[in-house]
Amino acid sequence: AKWVYFFGKDRTEGDGKNKNLLGGKGAGLAEMTSIGIPVPPGFTITTEACVQFYKDNKNYPAGLWDQVLAALATLETAMGKKFGDIENPLLVSVRSGARVSMPGMMDTVLNLGLTDESVKGLAKSSGNERFAYDSYRRFIQMFSDVVLGIGHHQFEHILKDMKNARGVKEDTELNAADMKELVEKYKALVLSEIGRQFPQDPKEQLKYAIDAVFDSWNNQRAKTCRKINKMSDDWGTAVNVQSMVFGNMGDDCGTGVAFTRDPSTGEKVFFGEYLVNAQGEDVVAGIRTPEPIAKLQTAMPEVFGQLEEVYKKLENHYKDVQDIEFTIERGTLYMLQTRTGKRTARAAVKIAYDMVQEGLIDKRTAVLRVAPEQVDQLLHPMIDTSIKYDIIAKGLPASPGAAVGKAVFSAEDAESWAAQGEKVILVRAETSPEDIGGMHAAQGILTATGGMTSHAAVVARGMGKCCVAGCGAIRINEHQRLFTASGVTIKEGDILTINGSTGEVIVGAAKLIEPELSGEFAEILTWADTFRTLGVRANADTPHDSQVAREFGAEGIGLCRTEHMFFDGNRIDAVREMILADNEEGRRKALAKVKPYQKEDFLGLFTAMEGLPVTIRLLDPPLHEFIPHNDEEIDRVAKASGVSAEHLKAKATELHEFNPMLGHRGCRLGLTYPEIYEMQVYAIFEAACELVKQGKVVKPEVMIPLVGSYKELEILKDMTNEVAQETIARYGVKLDYLVGTMIELPRAALTANEIAEHAQFFSFGTNDLTQTTLGVSRDDAGKFLPIYVEKGIFKEDPFVSIDVSGVGQLVEMGVSKGRSVRPDLKTGICGEHGGDPDSIAFCQKAGLNYVSCSPFRVPVARLAAAHAAL
C-alpha cells in the first residue's frame, strides 16, 4: 500500500483536496505547492498509516518505513542537503495533521536532524553559530517534551536562570556562547531524566518523532477536543515531514500567522501578527508579544508584497477565508500552512454576505457557510452601555460577546464549579491546550498574555465563547487565586464581567441586554428561508415573547403553555381558590374569576401574532404545582385566600403525587375537571371572535396534552368543538380553527392512526416523549445522565438532541400512522429539540411540517432548517 506522499516543486503526489487521507495540513501543503506557492518540500504519511498503526498494536504497517526512507532520499536530492550531514545538514519538522484541524492538540517537533555533529555543519553552512545552537536547544526541548516526556517547564527554568544570570529579558538577547551552554545544560537534564544520552542518530530521531505524533492522536487533550467537536476517534492523524526554513537566523527573518480577513469582525482586512527573529511556535505560544502584520509592510516591504500576493491567491483559490502560517528566511517568504479560518459567528455572517457581493460564492454556499450552532452567539447578551460600570483593565477584544461570572483560576476549577451550576470566568496567564475542558465550561475567558492569535483567542472564537486576551494590566497570583488591576483585587469567586467585543474587564455584574439582528444576518436568513421546507414557529406564552419571536422570523406559535398564565399576578389567587374548592360549583365560581384574565392573555397573543397560527395547549401540569409547599408560604397564601393553614396543608397532602410526571396532569385534568378546559376554550374562542369582529385574522389551534388513547381526545375534542361552535355562533362571525393533540406518550405514537381520526394536527412533545420512552425523568436525570454521556451510552444528552434511534422511531411512526388515515395531517415538534440543529435535521427527514422553539432560537432554527434541506 502507498503510505507516503511527496510534495515539492517538481513533483506533488497527493491530491490536495483529499483531507481525509492527507490530513488538513498535508492537503493544504500539497495544494499550495501545486498552485505554485512557495512551500518547503516534504512528504506526508497518511492517516490510513496511523489507523493501521493502531490496528497493529502500534507497529508500523509493512512498507511504511521503507517508503519514509525513500521519500527522505527524494527530499535530500530536492534540497541538495543530507540528513545528519556534518557540512550542510538537512533539518525537518515532524508535524501532526488530522482531517479537521485541532490547533495545538497534537504534537510537532521542529529542527529534527540536529546532533552534536550536525549542529556544527549548520553553524558552518549558515555562517551563524548563534542561530545553529538556538535551533539545537529548541529541538532538544521540543523533542524531549514530545518524545521523551520531559516537561517544558524544566527547560524553561534553565532558560530563565540563564537570562537572569545574563541580566537580559528576551531570548534574542542571548549570544552564541549562551546558546551552546544552554545546549549542554539541556542535554545534561535529558541524561539525568531518562538515564541515557539525547539520541544522536537522525533517523532514529525521525522514527521516534513519527511514533510520538501517532501517539499524540490519543493524548487526553486531543480526545477531549474530539469529544467537544464531535469528531470520530477513528480518523487518525497524518504526519508531515517537511524541510525546515528558519525564521530565527537574524533580523531579516521572522515568523507569523495571519488571516485573509478579520476572523473576529469579518472585515475585509488582512489580519495577523509576526515576530522578528523567531521560530514556529513563538507567536502562538504567546512567549513574546508579536507585532501587528501591518508593521511588516514598513519593516520588510518586499516580503509583505509577496505575502499579499500569496494570501489573495489562496483566498481566491479556496473561495474562503484562510488561516495561514508563514516564515521569512533571510528576506524570502515560505508558506507553512493554510486552512479554512475559524471565525466568530459575526465574522462568519459578514464574510458569507460579502463574498456573495464580491461574486466569490453563491447564496447557497453562503447559507451553508454559517453554522446554525454558531449563530446562537449572535443572539446572546451584550453589555448595556447606558448604565455605568467600572472598567478595571482593558485587554484585546479576542472573541465578542459579554459574559458575567465568578472568577476561577484553573481549568479544573472552571469545570468543577460549572458542574455545580456556577457561572464562571476562567482567568489565566495564558491558556494551553490542556485547558480546553475548562474553557468549554466557562462563560468567558480572560488571559493576561498572548495576542489575537494566541491559543485562548483562537479556541474561544471557535467555541463562540467571549474572550479578552493579552490583558497585561491584570496581575494574576495563581497561588492565592486572585488578580489585581487598577488597585482592585478580584478573588476567586468574586463576580466580574468581561466584554469580548471591546476587551474591557469590569468589576461586578454589568447589565446585559439582548442583541438585535444585523442587516447582513437578516439578509442571510432570508436566503436561508428560500431553501428550507420546514416551517419555524416559536414557543411563547406572552405577547412580548411572541413579538420577539415574530421579529426573529417565527411563522406562528407552536406552543403556548397556558399554565404560565395561571401564575401571573393576582390570578394565582383565583387559581388557588379553584384548587381549594371542594366541589364543581366552587371550582366554577373560581374559574369565572380566572377567565377574564385568560381571555386578556389570548387577546394579547392573537394580536401580536395576527394572521399567523397560534397553538394553545390546554392546562398541562398537575394542580399541586400551583399551591405552596413550605410553611411560610402556606401561611401567607392561607391568609390571602381566607382559609386555614390546616386546610391548605391537607389539600397539599391530598394532591401529593409520588410520580407527578406520570400523574394527574394533561388531558387527565380535562377529563376529571371538565370545567377547567371548558373555561380555557371559552376564553380562547371569545378572544378570537372578538378580534375577528374587529376585522383581524386569527388562527387558533387548540391542543390537548398527554393523550394516550383516542378516547381521551375524542371526548375533549367534542367538548372543544361544542364550545367553539357555540361561541362563534354567539358572536356571529366566521372563524377557522383546528383541534389537535400532542404526541408525547409512546402509546400515542403507537396508536397514531386511531388518534389521527380525531386530530387535525400532531405536535410531538419530545420532552415528555423522551422521558416516557427512555423511562428517564428529566428532573432527576442530573445525577446519572452526564455519566451516561461520558461512558458513551448516549452519544448526547437526549433532552438536548433527539434520540434518533429510539424516540425518533416513535416520531416517524407517529407521522406515518397519522398520515395513513389523514393525509393532510399537520405535524410539528415543540420540545426543546425544536431549536437543536441536529434534531431539526432529523425533523426534516421525518417529514414534519414545522419545528417550534424558544424565540431566541428562531434564527438558529431557520438556518438549521435550510441546512437540513440543502
In angstroms, give the least distance from the CB of 433 to ligand ADP. 9
Per-residue cell: 358: 464580491
For residue 40, state whether it binds ligand ADP (rule: CB under 6 A): yes
Burial class (CB in 10 A: 0-12, 13-18, 19+), 600: middle
Question: Any contact of residue 832 with Mg ion (CB under 5 A)?
Answer: no
User: Using CA atoms in the order 722, 724, 730, 734, what is the torsion angle rounded to 10 degrees?
Assistant: -130
CA distance 536 to 546: 13
94, 210 Cβ separation under 8 angstroms: yes
Stretch that binds Mg ion, among 52-60, 191-199, 437-445, 765-773 (CB under 5 A): 765-773
Instruction: Count interface residues toward Mg ion (CB under 5 A).
Output: 4
Residue 171 vs 325, nearer CB to Mg ion: 325
Residue window 86-115: x/- pattern of binding to ligand ADP, with contact defined by CB under 6 A:
-------x-x-------xx---x-x-----
Distance (Å, rounded) from C-alpha 43 to C-alpha 6? 4
Which of the choices Mg ion, ligand ADP, none does residue 320 contact, using the CB cut-off of 5 to 8 A by kind? none
Cα gap 668→674, rounded to integer Å: 9
- Interface of this chain with Mg ion, residues 789 to 818, rule: CB under 5 A: none
Q: Which is nearer to Mg ion, 285 or 488 (CB)?
A: 285
Give the distance from CA 300 to its chain's centroid.
38
Residue 433 makes contact with Mg ion by CB under 5 A: no
Which helix or strand (DSSP H or E) is residue 241 part of? strand 237-243
Q: Which of 64, 190, 296, 336 contacts ligand ADP by CB under 6 A?
A: 336
Cα torsion through 145, 148, 149, 151, rounded to 10: -40
Q: How far, in Å, CA of 675 to CA of 128, rounded?
A: 94
Q: Cβ distance 609 to 550 under 8 Å?
A: yes
Binding mask 697-736 for Mg ion (x = CB under 5 A): ----------------------------------------
End-to-end alpha carbon distance in the chain: 37
24 binds ligand ADP (CB under 6 A): no
Work out how close the CB of 562 gets to Mg ion at its nearest, in angstroms, rounded to a whole number: 13
Q: How far is the CB of 848 from Mg ion (least distance, A)?
A: 17
The set of catalytic residues is 455, 830
- Choosing among Mg ion, ligand ADP, none, which partner's interface includes residue 40 (Cβ < 5 to 8 Å by kind)? ligand ADP
CB of 695 to Mg ion, least distance (A): 35
Least separation in angstroms between residue 457's CB and ligand ADP is 14
Closest contact distance (angstroms) between CB of 273 and ligand ADP is: 12
Residues contacting 164, CB < 8 A, separation 6+: none
CB of 407 or CB of 457, closer to Mg ion:
457
State the nearest-atom distance from the C-beta of 451 to Mg ion, in Å. 15
Q: Which of 262, 744, 832, 838 binds Mg ion (CB under 5 A)?
A: 744
337 near ligand ADP (CB under 6 A): yes
Contacts of 460 (CB under 8 A, 6+ apart): 398, 399, 439, 444, 445, 466, 467, 469, 500
Q: Going residue by residue from 360 to 389, which x/- string records binding to ligand ADP, judged by CB under 6 A?
A: ------------------------------
**Span from 238-246, 292-300, 551-559, 676-684 in contact with ligand ADP (CB under 6 A):** 238-246
Strand order in the sheet with 495-499: 391-394, 504-507, 495-499, 402-408, 424-428, 444-447, 466-469, 396-399
Question: Which residues, other chains included, contact 827 with Cβ-Cβ below 8 Å and sequence gap of 6+?
Answer: 761, 762, 763, 764, 814, 815, 818, 819, 847, 848, 849, 850
Distance of closest approach, residue 389 Cβ to ligand ADP, in angstroms: 37
Whether residue 182 contacts residue 160, with contact meaning beta carbons closer than 8 Å, is answered with no
The nearer residue to ligand ADP, 327 or 770, going by C-beta atoms, is 327
Q: Give Cα separations from 362 to 41, 369, 527, 588 (angstroms).
A: 35, 11, 11, 61
Residue 246 CA to residue 241 CA, distance in Å, equals 15
Q: Let me know: does 121 contact 86? Beta carbons within 8 Å.
A: yes
Compare residues 546 and 772 and give the one whose CB is closer to Mg ion: 772
768 binds Mg ion (CB under 5 A): yes
- DSSP assignment letter at 621: S
Of positions 765, 808, 834, 855, contacts Mg ion by CB under 5 A: 765
Q: CB 25 → ligand ADP: shortest distance, Å?
A: 6
Using CB distances below 5 to 8 A depending on partner kind, what does residue 245 bind out of ligand ADP, Mg ion, none? ligand ADP
B/e letters for 684-706, b = 16+ CB within 10 Å, e = fewer, are bbbbbbbbbeeeeebbbbbbbbb
Q: Which is closer to ligand ADP, CB of 104 or CB of 400?
A: 104
Cell numbers at residue 856, please?
Answer: 431566541
Give the range of 117-125, 177-185, 460-468, 764-772 binding Mg ion by CB under 5 A. 764-772
Rounded to a whole number of angstroms, the minimum distance from the CB of residue 110 to ligand ADP is 5
Q: Can you state the angle between helices 129-143 and 118-126, rounded to 10 degrees?
A: 140
Distance CA 528, CA 442 (A): 31
Q: 72 CB contacts (<8 Å, ≥6 apart)?
A: 43, 83, 206, 241
Residue 457 in the binding site for ligand ADP (CB under 6 A): no
Those residues whose C-beta lies under 8 Å from the C-beta of residue 332, and which sit 6 or more positions away, are 38, 303
Q: Nearest to residue 662, comparing CAs of 585, 777, 821?
A: 777
Question: Cβ closer to ligand ADP: 113 or 746?
Answer: 113
Nearest residue to 318 via CA among 260, 256, 393: 260
| Grid cell at residue 42 | 516534504
Residue 103: how many other CB atoms lie within 10 Å: 16
Residue 110 binding: pick among ligand ADP, Mg ion, none (C-beta 5-8 Å cut-off by kind):
ligand ADP
Q: Which does 280 bind (CB under 5 to 8 A by kind): ligand ADP, Mg ion, none?
A: ligand ADP
Would you count residue 16 as binding ligand ADP (CB under 6 A)? no
Identify what 265 binds: Mg ion, ligand ADP, none; CB under 5 to 8 Å per kind: none
Q: Which of 74, 327, 337, 641 binds Mg ion (CB under 5 A)?
A: 337
Residue 262 binding result from ligand ADP, Mg ion, none, given CB thresholds of 5 to 8 Å by partner type: none
At its nearest, how many Å lie between ligand ADP and the CB of residue 242?
Answer: 4
Binding at 291: pick from ligand ADP, Mg ion, none (beta carbon under 5-8 Å per type): none
* Residue 768 binding result from ligand ADP, Mg ion, none, given CB thresholds of 5 to 8 Å by partner type: Mg ion
For ligand ADP, the closer of residues 110 and 716 by Cβ is 110
Q: Position 377: which residue type?
A: Q
User: Considering CB distances under 5 to 8 angstroms, the limit depending on partner class, which of ligand ADP, Mg ion, none binds residue 392?
Assistant: none
**Residue 327 makes contact with ligand ADP by CB under 6 A:** yes
Q: In this complex, which beta carbon is closest to Mg ion, that of residue 186 or of residue 326? A: 326
Q: Which does 447 bind (CB under 5 to 8 A by kind): ligand ADP, Mg ion, none?
A: none
Is 280 a binding residue for ligand ADP by CB under 6 A? The answer is yes
Binding residue count for ligand ADP, defined by CB under 6 A: 16
Interface pattern 241-260 for ligand ADP (x via CB under 6 A): -x-xx---------------
Q: Angle at Cα 327 formed by Cα 336 and Cα 461, nearest 5°?
A: 65
Give strand ranges (E) for 347-461.
382-383, 391-394, 396-399, 402-408, 424-428, 444-447
Find the angle CA(92)-CA(95)-CA(99) to the nearest 5 degrees. Answer: 145
Name the nearest CA neighbour of 831 among 705, 680, 701: 705
Least Å distance, CB 257 to ligand ADP, is 7
Contact 390, 511 (CB under 8 A): no
Measured distance CA(315)–CA(354) in Å, rounded: 13
- Interface pick for ligand ADP out of 281, 625, 675, 690 (rule CB under 6 A): 281
Contact positions toward Mg ion, by CB under 5 A?
A: 337, 744, 765, 768
Contact positions toward ligand ADP, by CB under 6 A?
A: 40, 93, 95, 103-104, 108, 110, 242, 244-245, 280-281, 325, 327, 336-337
